[in-house]
Amino acid sequence: MSALILDGTRIAQQIRSEVAAEVKTMSEAGMRPGLAVVLVGHNPASEIYVRGKVKACEEVGIYSEKITPPETASTAQLLALIEDLNRRDEIDGILVQLPLPRQVDSKKILLAVDPAKDVDGFHPMNVGFLSTQRPGLVPCTPAGVMEILKRSKIPIAGQEAVVVGRSDIVGKPAAMLLINANATVTVCHSKTHDLPAVCRRADILVAAIGRAGMITRDFVKPGAVVVDVGMNSVTNASEFQRFFAGNAKREETFRKKGSTLIGDVHPEVAEVAGALTPVPGGVGPLTIAMLMYNTVKAGKMRRGSGVPELSRT
């Protein structure tokens, strides 16, 4: 048996098309949604992420602005910038790219973002809305996980779900979304006793711990749906052999680049799971698609018009 591969790239493309149609309608009504991305200093990984976000905005027709304060920016300077963006009516979404430089109080900056423009869904007010099932902005990656499950017609209500990882960005909101969809949810972390046994109970297993290939076949109940949120780089040849020995396509990539991507789930899980999200091409593409969706949603909610519905066909 080999797991059904859940194609995140295809699903992300569907969502982007739906978002582009919404943007067109809004723009024709004089309400083109706008996203401001704040990128402080020169972190190469952050620069790549931001480029991807700006490009996605262009593709779906969202107005975007990239603001690049210097590496030396102070907390006070960034607070003034956020205050200005909060006031600007043509900006519906504000995204502060993390990590921020050491001298900046990141928590203060994120708290300063108007919750109605918090397209990352990190503001305590949006976290509260999510936990009490009120309409708000939901973190992009966990929202993407739910879209993969729903669009792949995977039943959630009444299922046992296990989330490995308790971060504020993925683990906790993913658990909350699954609870809201009527799953029975267990959240695991580094202090969980007998982690493999707890994971084996899962009908839906969400891996979000940030450790390469940690979830092996002993963690997975045969036929379970496994969602791999991890994104880790393998650069060591012996580690590569442990995960990908005999995979000619991966070997070629590794030889050319000196690295390859792996999630938190070991490739051998494909032999046990019923369905699995690949890395790359699984949850990753959904994160930016849901950011586009959140920007449109923020624009509509701020103007009191209906929240955009995703078709999930």
Annotation says 84 is catalytic: no
- Cα separation of the two ends of the chain: 27
Annotation says 221 is catalytic: no
Distance CA(43)–CA(296), nearest Å, equals: 28
Distance CA(45)–CA(224), nearest Å, equals: 33
Whether the Cβ atoms of residue 311 and residue 33 lie closer than 8 Å to each other: no
Q: Which of 118, 120, 203, 228 does the annotation list as catalytic?
A: 120
- Say which residues have a Cβ less than 8 Å from residue 4's Cβ, sequence separation at least 6: 274, 275, 276
Q: Which of 53, 172, 221, 297 does the annotation list as catalytic?
A: 53
Secondary structure string (H, E, C) spanning the chain: CCCEECCHHHHHHHHHHHHHHHHHHHHHCCCCCEEEEECCCCCHHHHHHHHHHHHHHHHHCCEEEEECCCCCCCHHHHHHHHHHHHHCCCCCEEEECCCCCCCCCHHHHHHHCCHHHCCCCCCHHHHHHHHCCCCCCCCHHHHHHHHHHHHCCCCCCCCEEEEECCCCCCHHHHHHHHHHCCCEEEEECCCCCCHHHHHCCCCEEEECCCCCCCECHHHCCCCCEEEECCCEEECCHHHHHHHHCCCHHHHHHHHHHCCEEECCECHHHHHCCCEECCCCCCCHHHHHHHHHHHHHHHHHHHCCCCCCCCCCC
Annotation says 97 is catalytic: yes
Q: Which of 92, 97, 118, 172 does the annotation list as catalytic?
A: 97
Residues noted as catalytic: 53, 97, 120
